[in-house]
Amino acid sequence: MSILLDKANQTIQQTVSVVNKQYYPYFHLAPPVGWMNDPNGLIYFNGQYHAFYQYHPYDANWGPMHWGHAVSDDLVYWRHLPVALAPDQDFDSGGCFSGSAVIDNGELCLIYTGHVYVDQQHHPELIRETQCLATSKDGIHFEKHGTILSPEEGIMHFRDPKVWKLNGQWWMVVGRRNLQDVGQIVIYRSSDLRSWHFEQVLIEHIDENVYMLECPDFFPLGDKWILMCSPQGFKPQQYQYRNLFQSGYIVGTWQPGQPFKVEKGFTELDYGHDFYAPQTFISADGRRLMFGWMDMWQSKMPSQKDHWSGCFTLPRELVLDNHNQLLNRPVKELTVLRQTATKLQDLQIVDEGKHSDLDCTRCEIDITFDMTVSNAERFGLQLAATKEGKQATLLYVDMQSERIVLDRSLSGQQVTGYRSVPLPKTNLLHMRIYVDASSIEVFVEQGLYSLSSRIYPLLPAERQLNFFAENGAMKISQFTHWQLNSIYKG
């Protein structure tokens, strides 16, 4: 074990006890202590799911990136393992940036970006990024093999490799900022994971303002190929692109040696305040699954004073519908977390609020609104709310704008603003909602839309569920509430 890797793991052991758990998630994967961002190296290996992540173990702010590591037998219950990678070599001295994992000849192989500051003291903007390889026989201890792919001369931003195997060859997509400050995704091919050959620019110029395409992922669903990425540079447009950076997908067709033929242009994948750098992987039974980072650059993170920050979204299954819409919804395995159910039917509220006395600290809610009866100007739920609703996260239907709104104006510490999605035209509007100690995830119409946002209620206070309807009626045809167990073991 390297000195820096040993130091990182010792630091975690010595400092994990100082973490204040007031906002720590019950059923989302978060770091034991310190800072977490992008999901990395998601893979099923030797009967377990491995989740790596961008990690700074020394404090709750971004710093020299390590790779944190957790494993699960079932996608539900997780335990933390020792740090997998530390920035301890010349080729990754500025950080072990994002990447992916594959299995080759029985070994777990991590392909990641080695980040180097060329002259940090005088010119911190000058960087060099290359793709690097580390391998492991046991999935825990990794041997680094150095740089396997370097960019063209003059290219500084060149990162986040995603690797897969097709037709006996390895393929890699990488995000690149070219010399004209245009964001591109480029694709390479290899027969051995070590010697790589440029194939093509997969896509570029998705918007005149986009200068970098981070965290690419390229995979087939049915007879189509999905290109996921996180563009930097989009300008806000009405309801769209309201976060600092976005994450989304492009649908098309592709085969080796041919151009990527786009059928559906860039579309946001999640419409909440906090979603970035999603990465997909294949489940043991062949489903295409995904984690995202449930935070956003330059956002307020009150948990930092509690010695930790950052978490993943719930694991989600991806399905492409007949309209090239990429649906994302919670994996079926999560139902094992459910405790006793509370059910309601045919609840009608007119011009008022209603207290439920249901705890909304760590819960799942399944709800269907009868839109043939509901005619209030706006109606929905107060989540993680005090009884009188002075503190709450609002999730409601706005019948005048015809949108579903997630509003954090009353959500607590340092978070503001709202996000929204179009109201589907349906008689029965279905949502699944997950509320954790500092987050909410909403899934509309079986994953047609999702909204993921962090919330930080001022504590101590009740965190319960209230119903409300303003200037009219709301009818709920069915409602189920479950308290959820913790995902952490060991």
Residues 196, 175: Cα–Cα separation, whole Å: 15
φ and ψ of 11, to 5 deg = -60, -40
Mean pLDDT, residues 59-72 taken together: 98
Residue 175 corresponds to which amino acid?
G
Are residue 243 and residue 179 in the same domain, yes or no?
yes
Domain annotation covers residue 289: yes
With beta carbons less than 8 A apart as the criterion, state whether 438 and 25 touch: yes
Domain annotation covers residue 24: yes
Are residue 94 and residue 212 in the same domain, yes or no?
yes
Question: What dihedral do alpha carbons 182, 163, 147, 11 form, nearest 10°?
Answer: 100
The angle subtended at Cα 229 by Cα 407 and Cα 248, nearest 5°, is 35
Q: How confident is the model at residue 123 (pLDDT cuts 50, 70, 90)?
A: confident
Task: Check whether 119 has a pLDDT greater than 90.
Answer: no
Q: How confident is the model at residue 490 (pLDDT cuts 50, 70, 90)?
A: low
Domain annotation covers residue 438: yes
pLDDT per position as a tens digit, 356-367: 989 999 999 999
Q: Which of 38, 306, 370, 407 is catalytic?
A: 38
pLDDT per position as a tens digit, 227-266: 999 999 999 999 999 999 999 999 999 999 999 999 999 9
> Could you say which of 330, 353, 371 is where a domain stops?
330
Task: Check whether 1 has a pLDDT greater than 70.
Answer: no
Domain annotation covers residue 490: no
pTM, 2 dp: 0.97
Domain annotation covers residue 156: yes
Domain annotation covers residue 58: yes
Are residue 226 and residue 92 in the same domain, yes or no?
yes
State yes or no: cis peptide before 25, omega within 30 of 0. Answer: no
Mean pLDDT (the chain) is 97
Are residue 153 and residue 93 in the same domain, yes or no?
yes
Task: Check whether 352 has a pLDDT greater than 70.
Answer: yes
Are residue 342 and residue 253 in the same domain, yes or no?
no
Are residue 98 and residue 20 in the same domain, yes or no?
yes
Q: How confident is the model at residue 464 (pLDDT cuts 50, 70, 90)?
A: very high
CATH number for the domain that contains residue 453? 2.60.120.560
Residues 149, 169: Cα–Cα separation, whole Å: 16
Given this model, what pLDDT does residue 353 score? 86
Domain annotation covers residue 390: yes
> Could you say which of 313, 330, 347 is where a domain stops?
330
Are residue 392 and residue 271 in the same domain, yes or no?
no
Tell me the sheet residues that pair with 400: none
Residues 352, 15: Cα–Cα separation, whole Å: 48
The burial of 27, by beta-carbon neighbours within 10 Å (0-12 exposed, 13-18 middle, 19 or more buried), is given as buried
Give Rg (Cα) of the chain: 23
Residues 393, 64: Cα–Cα separation, whole Å: 34
Mean pLDDT, residues 149-160 taken together: 97
Q: How confident is the model at residue 125 (pLDDT cuts 50, 70, 90)?
A: confident
With beta carbons less than 8 A apart as the criterion, state whether 44 and 282 touch: yes
> Could you say which of 269, 296, 330 is where a domain stops?
330
Are residue 266 and residue 344 in the same domain, yes or no?
no
With beta carbons less than 8 A apart as the criterion, state whether 83 and 66 touch: yes
pLDDT per position as a tens digit, 414-462: 999 999 999 999 999 999 999 999 999 999 999 999 999 999 999 999 9
Contacts of 66-69 with CB under 8 Å at 24 or more apart are 66/8, 66/96, 67/40, 67/41, 67/96, 67/110, 67/112, 68/31, 68/36, 69/140
Range of the structural domain that residue 286 is part of: 3-330
Residues 325, 250: Cα–Cα separation, whole Å: 10
Mean pLDDT, residues 298-324 taken together: 97
pLDDT per position as a tens digit, 185-231: 999 999 999 999 999 999 999 999 999 999 999 999 999 999 999 99
Any catalytic annotation for residue 207? Answer: no
Number of structural domains the chain divides into: 2
Are residue 23 and residue 91 in the same domain, yes or no?
yes
Are residue 346 and residue 301 in the same domain, yes or no?
no
CATH number for the domain that contains residue 57? 2.115.10.20
Are residue 149 and residue 172 in the same domain, yes or no?
yes
Q: How confident is the model at residue 120 (pLDDT cuts 50, 70, 90)?
A: confident
Are residue 244 and residue 349 in the same domain, yes or no?
no
For residue 289, give every residue at least 6 positions away whose Cβ sits within 8 Å of its Cβ, in sequence order, or none: 42, 75, 280, 281, 282, 283, 315, 316, 317, 318, 331
Domain annotation covers residue 98: yes
Tell me the sheet residues that pair with 450: 443
Percent of the chain residues past pLDDT 90, beyond the cut: 97
